[in-house]
Amino acid sequence: MRIGELAEATGTTAKTLRFYEEAGLLPPTHRASNGYRDYGPDAVTRLDFIRRGRAAGLTLAQIREVIDIRDTGQTPCSHVHALLTIRLTDIDRQIADLQGLRATVARLRDEAGQANPAACDAEDVCRYL
Amino acid sequence: MRIGELAEATGTTAKTLRFYEEAGLLPPTHRASNGYRDYGPDAVTRLDFIRRGRAAGLTLAQIREVIDIRDTGQTPCSHVHALLTIRLTDIDRQIADLQGLRATVARLRDEAGQANPAACDAEDVCRYL
DNA sequence: CTGAACCTTCCAGCGCGGGGGAGGGTCAAG
DNA sequence: CTTGACCCTCCCCCGCGCTGGAAGGTTCAG
């Protein structure tokens, strides 16, 4: 299949597919005699894999890591497990950070009171922040 | 005070201060006869304001908005209130997104099982993702 | 024959918040 | 007199994940 068909089949764009190839996420594929890229059906599988990784919040670099391991013939499962564990820790930290931030912002806002310009003093400062 | 002193006093760098001036967050300041920037003590106040805004997750553009309102002589309080309300909504959405993502990633990881290479098939896919 | 819809490469830019380093002036101490 | 610590402007670069556009080749329908 050609790049446009693959793009449509996987819900992405030809631009992105060329970018993925450049980034090492898709192997350089066979070219037809006219120079057009010619993809087999496994390209769809690989792109689905990439899409799922993205949806799990993995970076392209992390996904490429997994692909590289697999391409050396190893089973990347334990690596994926470790990656997802790290990702979970990250997410938990982000949630905790955001919850702390939420409390701070809520406090600042509630101290303000919507129509209380007196809380702004004459200096270069708004006491809300 | 000179730019390096101001940087040290506010826990930032001279580079960043020049960048803030360029971005309209710091007013172009008085220059000494040798061309060096010469800051008064209110620069520290303004930088603290900027730092607090950053800590609340506001973008430089949002902080500049507030500063611009204040610099036209108005009290930016109700604007700040609105800004923080929007920011709260954003944070809540981010937290919800992350909690959904956390559930997804945790499920993927727990399906994997740390030492279960059988979950990797021979195709270009790891069933964990 | 012409036009549209594909494809190719290469180069540029976004948004965000700066950082690196070149190439040069200035100033005080030793 | 020199050394070192500052300061100045200028322009380019980072990560991240693409996206847009120019300039050209190919293929197919009408």
- Find all residues with CB under 8 Å of A88, minimum gap 6, and list them: B102, B105, B106, B109
Q: Given pLDDT bands bounded at 50, 70 and 90, which one contains residue A104?
A: confident
Q: pLDDT by residue (tens digit) across A16-37?
A: 999 999 999 999 999 999 999 9
ipTM of the complex: 0.79
Q: What is the DSSP string of A72-101?
A: TT--THHHHHHHHHHHHHHHHHHHHHHHHH
Tokens 């604007």 correspond to B79
Q: What is the pLDDT along chain B (129 residues), one digit of tens a residue?
A: 999 999 999 999 999 999 999 999 999 999 999 999 999 999 999 999 999 999 999 999 999 988 888 888 777 778 888 888 989 999 999 999 999 999 988 988 887 655 555 555 544 345 455
Tell me if chain A has a CB within 8 Å of the CB of B32. no
pLDDT reading at A123 higher than 50: no
CA distance B106 to B98: 12
Domain residue ranges of chain A, discontinuous segments joined by +: 1-74, 75-129
Q: What confidence score (pLDDT) does residue B129 get?
A: 57
- Whether A45 and B124 lie within 8 Å, measured CB to CB: yes
CATH of B1-74, one of 1.10.1840.10, 3.40.50.2300, 1.10.1660.10, 3.30.70.1450: 1.10.1660.10
Cross-chain CB nearest to A104 (options B56, B77, B119): B56
- Residue B112: what pLDDT? 65
- Residue B37 — φ and ψ, nearest 5°? -65, 140
**Cα–Cα distance between A57 and B85 in angstroms, integer?**
27
Q: How far is the CA of A48 from the C1' of D29 (A)?
A: 34
pLDDT at B114: 52
Nearest-angstrom CA–CA distance, B74 and A55: 45
Mutant choice from B51, B68, B72, B81 vs A, greatest count of A C-beta within 10 A: B81
Compute CA B108 distance to the chain's CA centroid, rounded to the nearest angstrom.
32
